[in-house]
Structure 1
Amino acid sequence: MASVPVMVTARVRGVLTQIGELFTIALEGLRRTWDVRNWFWEFVEQCWFLARVTTLPVILIALPLGATVALQVGDLAGQLGAQSATGGAVVVGLVREVAPIAAALIIAGAGGSAMTSDMGARRIRDELSAMEVMAVNPVHRLVTPRMWAASLVSTMLSSLVILSGAVGGFFFNVLLQGVTPGAYFDGALGLLQISDLVVTLFKAWLFGLIAAMVACYKGMTCEQSPVGVGRAVNQATVVALLLVFGFNYVITTIYVIAFPPKI
């Protein structure tokens, strides 16, 4: 019976240790942000890679998502005699919640898994240790550019989700349900606030940073075997999404309290 509390204590200690190591690597990566010359080209390469593997998937997700929301909300609004408000519901939902979450899902799933496998492969080949022997900090050289690249691309993807989702909603709401284009966009612009866009872009930036941070940490601390790299990829995706949803809830709650939605 005494072994159960010991096991629980050891598990909790292990989780807390991993959280501490995760944020230590993140803070160490941010600490050398000013030294752009040492990581700029790696940053450009990572931005191009992330944009290449995430742009098409995020468009394919946002278009049917906006159309589906417009179809469902439009039917309900039509029964209430307020079908012209569909555009506002679609665009506001995209801007406030869907865009940063969708960008984070794509970054963590497509880009983050590639980052984890890359860092894990470097660990298996002892490249990280070799960099330390040559007095090159692997966190500054590899983690810093990936964190900033993921945050920048995630912010851009968030804007792309809003645009694609609005186009998909416009197709269903205007072309299939008979709402006028003016009513569609007037409803959207009437409910949006500048603070909505600012908070959305901030959340997208933060979620991209979290996805890259978790991916790099899991790759740099994985078991030195192909199986360990595979496990690290799965763990990085799950942990990143859990952190994203947790931070999204906190940020949204604070924002709604500080800036109540317009009616």
Structure 2
Amino acid sequence: MSQALGKPNELLGPDDPEPVGIIDRGDASPFVLICDHAGNAVPAVLDGLGLEPAELNRHIGIDIGILGVSERLAEQLGASLVFQRYSRLVVECNRRVTSPDSIALVSDGTVVPGNADLTPAQRSLRLDEIVVPYHRQIETILDRRAEAGIPTILVSMHSFTPSLRARPFQRPWQIGLCYGADTRFTTPVLEALDDETDLVVGRNEPYGVDLNKDYSIPVHGEERGLPYVEFEIRQDLIGEASGQAEWATRLGRVLPAAHRRFTVAAS
């Protein structure tokens, strides 16, 4: 598969979607939601990365169901939401550029032909036109709130596959929380989830936060000193609209309850 070279602003063509989706509801809510893997778009010039559409539609290409949950949850909370429209296989918005899987050659057993033998210029185009605008929009909202002295809870939304092809194992957790050094808000969220019934909750399962490789929580949360929570919801539970609505309602109970506990503990 060939890939056209170009200078900045030439990767995304006129018919390609904007990389950043944003629902800006102002700053009344204590929460700001972000969704790194909401979409599976591929710039037209990249010819689908040489993959069948089915590959882009599975978990390696998109966090299945999470945008539907995030949109509903943000509406319930009156919160702003920033989300990424392009596939993580084009470029991974939740990795530092030094991470080897920033642009993956293989993902869960699938070879990605369109990511092989990229020049530095080709890699830079993906970062400059897809990753940078996304994180700049997050920074804009967080900076605005900081300048106004508005306390912020960062909520990072993800979903995970019930089982990997490369390492088959039926993951038992319906939801997992991922965290690094700062657990100020994660702890009350875990407590609030304990009040829910019949949940198997992962603590840094199926993933944790890698402060050296990951980007969103380490940079926008840990480095800023913002309390945060990162959710991973199992994809078979939110693949349909009914499950997305159910989980948005559940987290719409959990987050305010956790925020009340957090506020009391901080006072």
- TM-score tier by shorter-chain length is under 0.3
Higher helix share: 1
TM-score (norm 1): 0.24
Structure with bigger gyration radius: 1
Greater relative contact order (Cα 8 A, min sep 6): structure 1 or 2? 1
Higher strand share: 2
TM-score (norm 2): 0.24
